[in-house]
Structures are given as structure tokens and as C-alpha cells.
Amino acid sequence: MGSGGGAAAAAVAVPRKEKQRSAAGHWPQVEDDGVAPASSTKRHARRAWCCGGVNFVLAAFVMVVPPMVILLDARASSPAVWISSVNVLRRGDGSILRWPAVDARDKLLGSLLADGSEEGSCHSRYLVSISYRGLGNRILAAASAFLYALLTDRVLLVDPSNEMDELFCEPFPGTTWLLPPGFPLTNYTSFGVSTAESYGNMLKNKVITTGDDGDIPPARLPPFAYVHLDHTATVEDKFFFCDEDQRVIRNIPWLVMRTDNYIVPGLFLVTGFQQELDSLFPETDAVFHHLGRYLFHPTNHVWGLVTRYYDAYLATAQQRVGIQVRVFGRQPESPELLEQITACTQKANLLPEVIAAGEPLVAPASARRKSTAVLVTSLKSWYYERMKSMYWEHAAAGAGEAVSVHQPSHEEFQQFGAGSHDAKAWAEMYLLSLTDALVTSGWSTFGYVAQGLAGVRPWVMQKPWNRLADQPCWRDVSMEPCFHAPPFYDCRLKRGADTGKIVPHVRHCQDVQWGLKLVRTSW
């Protein structure tokens, strides 16, 4: 996002120097570098991306004025600026919830408004994403919320708990995507499946209704709705992925969203989003790759962890293999899982077999040997130690390939909300994304993030009790994360359905058979 004194923008694929129109009906000139000039304040600016050979396109109107990122309603006909009443919420009974008072003399609300803005000229909408559970879940949830905000012209404000600001650089220069202090809904982090204001419960209790008889007047809608889309979501909660429900939700000013899932495949089921999603992501198996590369950049501390480790242990190798080990069940040190890892890497020709002690090498010692660095990430050190010992105590078969095995940390147990623990986890996800080939554990959001950032299809190990004896792992059909708790409902037919068969690029995951993931339909 650009940062010049007011508005900046995310990107869409348009020819450079093409003139474009804003909410006010005017188009700024896009310069050769693809960034709108500073004079384009309060207008749409658009920029083309090219990442990994893919033209990545995002479309949004972002108001970049400290301390928030504001996505304004592009359908508005008036100039796109803040309104003076932005710091209030109205309860259902008409009473007012207010942000902390601002000095009456400060008409810019502490630089919240752009200089020169007019009072009362435009209404804007907020989407608050609750941060909870493990780091992989939080990253996938934030990426999902960001895409939904783009599709619906909303602000993205991320719950600042779990030290999100200590892990990620601000993705929007000159502003913050963190929810500022004083948010009127003080108990929003406790919202759950039983919250009366959840969209699903309001549907169930007929507080709001949907239908084909046109949009519900805004006056009849609540001032905010809680969107509950985590693993406990009900059938009514998942009506969120239906078009008629989205027509209602788009008129609710504030949304608070809780999810521990990558809900993006569900957004591709919404007919009203399909045209824009097709334009944004012509390669449907690379959605998280682009969202992740755009949003998630390590802070200086985490980047130091990444670069120092990479330079010391991985940089000089001719091939780098990442192995992400997630232990499920009560046996953290599993010989069966170690055997599965060894069988997978050797069957996929990622790592060489070893010869018995005392057997001569086939290749002469003077032969040029390939060097492979193996990066193991796991809460436990046991798997790393066994693999390291195997390649130390035994020579690699064939040409005597040199294999070194490394593990940055072994925290033993997952520690939710611990800053040092999360910093190491984020550094290791990023290090995995810098390897040439990946082996991941099925079901693991940690692995999903690494493969998405890397832009590679991993070799996936199924849970030991679910895998076939002759198939230690398989090559995934897509680099995309899996949506573990999708809807099972056809919104058009209004009945239960297999949502993995509705559109060709949304199919079932191989590791979570009922889950959904995005795939590419043509190669």
C-alpha cells in the first residue's frame, strides 16, 4: 500500500498509465511505477503485481490515515473521507456507544481524518478479526478476513492480542491494521457460538430474516453482527456463505469475526463474489500465496532469527528440504512416525537412502557430491536427533550425497500467546518457505502457512493411524490451505449438499476428507 498523505491503494490488474475512476467519479493517473501519485488523496489508486510469474490482483479502496486502515464503500457518490461520527456505535435501543472522547477542537480526531476532509460526507464500514488459537490459525484467519474485507469494501481491523504487532510488520505503510484502544464492544473477545448477536443466532431467533424480496432496509438491521466461523460453527452460522445472506450482511455496519479456519474456499462458493475473485486470482491455487506474501512480513526481531539461521545452516547447500513434523496423539516420540518420515523423503527422492555400516561407497571419494540441508521443525527434538544420527553414522547411498540435518528450536509444548514461542514459530514457518521441497504433516495449519508462502505443493504425511501402509505421503494437488469446517449446504437448492462438487476449483482436501481447498482446474 502506498503511504502519501491520505489515500493509498491495494492493487488490480490494469495497464499502467490507464486512467481510473474513485467513489467521487474521478480517476487518478497511475505513474510508471504503478503507484498512484501523492495528489491522488481520497481516490482509488491501483497497482499491478507480479509475483512468482503470476499477475496478482487485489482491489480495494484503502484510507491510510493513522491510526487505522479504512476500506470505504466504493459505491458511494460523495467524496471518500471519514465522517465526524465515526467514533460511535448505536445500540439496538437507540442509545450510543462511544469511543474515548476527543478534544472538541481537534476536528481531525487526532489525525484520524485526512487534512481537508469534510464532516458528514461519507459513511464507512469496520470488520474486526479476533486473534486466537495457534499462530498458524491466526495467520490463516487474518488472510481470510482481509480477502473478505476487500470483496465487501470493509475496513480490516485485527485484534491486537497475542502480540500480533510483535510478529508482523504493518502491511499498510503509514498506518496500522490493529484495532485501536477503546473499541466500544469491550467484551468482543469472549464472543462465541452462543452469543445472541451472532449472525447464526439472529437468523435462528428471527431477529433478522433473508429472502428474495429485496434488501432489508438498514434501519431494520442491528448495528453490528458477530460472525462465528470457527470449528464449532452451526448450520445457521455457515449460511454466511450464501448469497442472500451476504446481501443482508453487507448492510450491517460492523462485523466481528471469529474463525480458526482458512475460510477462503467458502468465499468462492458465493456467486456474488465469483466474478471479482476470478479477476483477482486467475490461478485459483495461489490465493494464499499472494495474500500471505502481501500481508505477513516478519518484524526485525523475527527477520533476524530467519536470516541468521539461513545464512549459517542453509545458504550454501545445493538443495534444501523442509520437514514439518506435527505430532498428533499421546505418543510424542513415535518410531512409526519417524519411519514414515524416512520412507516419505526417500520414496519422493528428496533424501537418499543410507548404506549399512562398513559397506564401501559406490562413488570414489574424489567425485563431486551433492549437498543437501534438511530443516526439521517440530516441538520435539527426538525426530531431528534420530535423522541427524542416521546420516552421521551411515553414508548416503549412490554418490555419497552429503546430508546435514538442522532444527532451530524444540519448545516441547505449544504455548498459546507466548511471545518468544510465537516468534520462533513464525521464523520457522518462514524458513520452511525458503526450502526447495517441503514435507508437511496433514491437518497442520503450521504446514499450510509454510507451503503457501513457499508457493510449492508439499509432500503430505497423513496421520499415522489414517495412512496406508504403502503410502507414507502423497504430493498435494494444491499449495492452498484446507478449510477444515466448511458448509455442507447448497444455498440455491436450499438443502444439504456436497460443497466439494459445486464449483470445479473447490474440491475436498486429501488430508481432511470433508474439508475444502482451492485447486487449479487447468494447467
62 close to 71: Cβ distance less than 8 angstroms: yes
Q: Among candidates 196, 207, 171, 193, which has minimal Cα distance to 259?
A: 193
What contacts 24+ positions apart, CB below 8 Å, involve 339-343? 340/461, 340/464, 340/467, 340/472, 340/473, 341/383, 341/387, 341/439, 341/461, 341/472, 342/387, 342/390, 343/472, 343/473
Q: Which amino acid is at 333?
A: E
Q: Among candidates 489, 484, 490, which has minimal Cα distance to 515?
A: 484
Which residues have a Cβ under 8 Å from the Cβ of 219 and sit 6 or more positions away?
Answer: none
Beta bridge partners of 124: 72
Distance set, CA 448 to CA 192, 344, 440, 459, 481 (Å):
25, 18, 8, 12, 5
- According to DSSP H, which parts of 188-326 are helical? 199-204, 243-249, 264-267, 271-280, 287-295, 300-309
- According to DSSP H, which parts of 109-234 are helical? 135-152, 164-167, 199-204
Looking at the chain, how many residues does it have?
523
pLDDT at 329: 66
Compute the distance between CA of residue 225 and CA of residue 252 in angstroms, rounded to an integer.
7
124 close to 254: Cβ distance less than 8 angstroms: no
Matching residue, cell 491495494: 10
Please state the separation of Cα 470 from the chain's center in Å: 33
Q: Which amino acid is at 217?
A: P
Please state the separation of Cα 365 from the chain's center in Å: 47
Question: Please, is 434 exposed, middle or buried when counting C-beta atoms within 10 Å of its C-beta (0-12, 13-18, 19+)?
Answer: middle
Please state the separation of Cα 242 from the chain's center in Å: 21
Biggest distance spanned by C-alpha atoms of the chain:
85
Q: Among candidates 433, 463, 177, which has minimal Cα distance to 295?
A: 177
Profile the chain (523 residues) by mean pLDDT over runs of 10 residues.
31 26 24 29 28 30 26 27 30 39 41 40 67 91 97 92 87 87 88 96 93 66 94 96 94 94 97 96 96 96 97 97 87 87 95 79 63 96 96 85 92 62 94 98 96 97 72 95 97 95 96 96 68
262 close to 483: Cβ distance less than 8 angstroms: yes
Compute the distance between CA of residue 394 and CA of residue 389 in angstroms, rounded to an integer.
8
C-alpha cell read off for 207: 431477529
Compute the distance between CA of residue 247 and CA of residue 210 in angstroms, rounded to an integer.
9
54 close to 290: Cβ distance less than 8 angstroms: yes
Matching residue, cell 460492523: 254
C-alpha cell read off for 190: 469472549
Vertex 283: Cα angle to 279 and 284 (nearest 5): 90
Distance linking the first and last C-alpha atoms of the chain: 31
Backbone angles phi, psi at 272, to 5 degrees: -65, -20
Compute the distance between CA of residue 384 and CA of residue 380 in angstroms, rounded to an integer.
8
Q: Among candidates 480, 485, 396, 500, which has minimal Cα distance to 440?
A: 480
Distance set, CA 136 to CA 142, 430, 443, 452 (Å):
10, 12, 11, 11
245 close to 489: Cβ distance less than 8 angstroms: no
Compute the distance between CA of residue 387 and CA of residue 309 in angstroms, rounded to an integer.
19
Radius of gyration of the chain (CA): 25
Under DSSP, the state recorded for 72 is B
Compute the distance between CA of residue 115 and CA of residue 81 in angstroms, rounded to an integer.
10
Q: Among candidates 354, 409, 432, 412, which has minimal Cα distance to 387?
A: 354
413 close to 425: Cβ distance less than 8 angstroms: no
- CA trace torsion 17, 23, 25, 26 (10° rounding): -30
Q: Which amino acid is at 114?
A: A
Under DSSP, the state recorded for 482 is P
- Kindly report whether the global pTM for this prediction surpasses the value 0.85: no
Compute the distance between CA of residue 209 and CA of residue 363 in angstroms, rounded to an integer.
74
Domains of the chain: 126-281 (no CATH), 300-357+366-479 (3.40.50.11350)
